[in-house]
Chain A
């Protein structure tokens, strides 16, 4: 009875509060996206074909884009609007995932697709773009809101931003935003230089640094899991958690990207950006609200709290690896040094493992082990939270060691997104025999709903001005700070590469790194 009255009271309150007249229905409508033009630099590139255009089309399919919407592709190749539309038509049809293709909708969507040829080094090209934007604004009613998406070589980011500013395209009657892809510099100094040049052209709040890992549904679900439930947060600290292991393993090699990869390496390519952002999401303090700056402030604070290694600490807390020939499954895989475009004496790391410590009250003394590698036994990304064992081993005699297995919480990012908890259970029968069992929540299959691709989420966020899942200058610099001592130390070493066979979990030194703490890697 009491509940019934409480419910009535809530209903009356809500009704009174909503007397304002509006057509909006927040309970059922998707968030509103404003009219805008998306200008894609590198429109002829792979990312545009495989990810960006399919994501924009899918957003149109779901009715998430405003009627006043346009895409302008920019690249060096001379092409007509129709040629570009035809190319994008083929790409969207080919790369659209888990989604039907509607020819009629494409025709309507394609009316808003335009092309502008231009060299990023040519100041005239920006004036041409300005004219094109004016025409598009008039015909498509984009209200002079423009999102510039730089899907180009990172070395061109600053040049394009300066070109846009030179033509006055960084300001307008509507909003202006610029999206850049990682890597944000190749070290702390170059990241600082890039930020400095970008910020001369755009305000920091207008710069969206995309990290597609943060757009993944399960990474976002970490926040829902931690802060939407009351039972986990009290355990989420050094008192109950023994260590945290973050793994991002690929079963393939560099597959023709040897030349690019040779410049980057696993530490730069994965740990400095994606995995440190994941770690920040796992370990950050609760934000006071789910708003862009509140969440990013907490992530940044965590990244700044990572202990910076002294040079002499690097060997014990990091491992570099490079795969040699081997097999993944039944498939033979050539070693990294045999890859096209790779120097035969390359010192590039295709595997990196690091022990990070966080200097704050919550995490003091808890090691965060991060590893990533190519040519591993399977493709898997996950976070394993290892809890401390029960304080009193009262079942030890009857359990043959099973009780000593601590509770473990696994947050799986890919391929099967989900959460599982390992705990001890009594075996059926007489006596008190314990055994570990796993309680599983499979995100993708418990909910059959299609998860949006990371680029759909992130593009829509940029269009609506929500930067929560984008990284900020201070976050980029804090994560470079954390890895720079390792990069500096490694650059002085001559590694005996290759040091692990394709299809294995990395070099033995990686196991030794954990053994020093009395831990072992989880085999995913």
Chain B
């Protein structure tokens, strides 16, 4: 239930101090007993302020605000944050900001949990201003993570302007218009901690394969995918296996269809077959004539981001796979 402060006048300059003041006022107001409930015990009600990081999301203005809002609200339960959403739009000279809080009442509790949100809408030519505003808004001493969903930002080659704002940059290379392996490799080379949701999406599958293979080193592994070109997930699986099992022959083969290149089957020495379902949820595997089912997360963006936000250090295994792809 967002609690909005009135949006500031467009003509007014946007100052970080002013936004922080509005955030402070927002908390003060939320902490007051509700007028509709004058008898409420102030110790029982109220809100709880929680913050473990600053999450800065760059999105295109056309993106569904409701969907993004729901995803960010979902993240707050596991990663309570100050969220700054930067909506980038076409045109020139536009810059606006508003603050609000996203609250929810955990089941069985009497107190709401609230996280503060700042939404900045800016045209591309105001990116420098955005950086100057967002920087001071970050919560001191806590990690700052950038979620990069804006294809506009990538197309304009303006990544560099915002990268300094975050300790970690998270992208989804499987999203249309998202940074590809080239850009990701560039970020790595520049020393940034980087995450790719396409890699996060295959964590459970990788874990299952590691468990099934145990300590055995197979001779060949074939990754089948649906499509003419392998998608990021199939490429990551190949790179991970190549970098982990250097003496194993790894092959990637598509079915030539018009599909998006997602992996469909992994075959290990003709002894183990792992069948992947479109849409996630589970996989089936066949080992020595024994067919089993394993539960997998659906891989919603919220689930993936929850996993990715928990890691704000260099991820060696990921970087090794990415380096292999970009080499």
| A interface list, Cβ under 8 A from B | 4, 7-8, 10-11, 14-15, 18, 21-25, 27-30, 32, 60-63, 66-67, 102, 104-105, 107-108, 111, 415-416, 440, 442, 444-449
Contact = CB atoms under 8 A, between A and B. Distances in A.
Nearest to B288: A141
A25 B210 CA distance: 9
Contact of A446 (B50, B191, B211, B292): B50
B244 A22 contact: yes
Contacts of B241: 23
B104 to A, nearest CB: 8
A23 B210 CA distance: 5
B14 interface: no
Nearest to B113: A445
B307 interface: yes
A274 to B, nearest CB: 23
A416 B113 CA distance: 14
B295 A105 contact: yes
Contacts of A22: 244
Interface in B186-221: 191, 203-204, 206-213
Query: Chain A's interface: helix, strand, loop or mixed, by majority?
Result: loop
Contact of B244 (A23, A27, A61, A63): A23
Contact of A67 (B111, B113, B206, B292): B292
A25 B241 CA distance: 12
Given A11-B191, A21-B244, A105-B293, A30 B207 contact: yes
A32 to B, nearest CB: 6
21 contacts: A10-B314, A15-B316, A15-B320, A21-B243, A22-B244, A23-B206, A23-B240, A23-B241, A23-B244, A28-B315, A28-B317, A63-B294, A67-B212, A67-B285, A104-B293, A105-B282, A440-B48, A442-B109, A444-B106, A447-B80, A448-B78
Contacts of A28: 203, 206-207, 307, 311, 315, 317
B314 A11 contact: yes
B48 A442 contact: yes
Contacts of A440: 48
Interface residues of B, number: 46
Given A102-B295, A104-B282, A445-B106, A63 B204 contact: yes
Contact of B191 (A8, A30, A111, A448): A8
Given A11-B191, A442-B111, 5 more contacts: A4-B191, A8-B191, A23-B241, A446-B80, A446-B113
Contacts of A30: 207
A62 B210 contact: no
B292 A449 contact: no
- Top 9 closest A-B pairs, CB basis? A448-B77, A23-B210, A108-B293, A445-B106, A29-B207, A25-B317, A446-B50, A449-B78, A23-B244
B62 to A, nearest CB: 29
A55 to B, nearest CB: 15
B24 to A, nearest CB: 15
B57 to A, nearest CB: 19
A379 B243 CA distance: 54
Given A107-B293, A446-B48, A67 B287 contact: yes
Nearest to A35: B214
Nearest to A106: B293
A445 B245 contact: no
A4 B307 CA distance: 25
Contact of B315 (A23, A27, A66, A107): A27
B296 interface: yes
B304 to A, nearest CB: 12
A383 B40 CA distance: 28
Given A14-B316, A27-B315, A27-B316, A108 B292 contact: yes
Contact of A445 (B109, B203, B246, B287): B109
A403 B243 CA distance: 63
Contacts of A7: 191, 314
A450 to B, nearest CB: 10
A446 B295 CA distance: 27
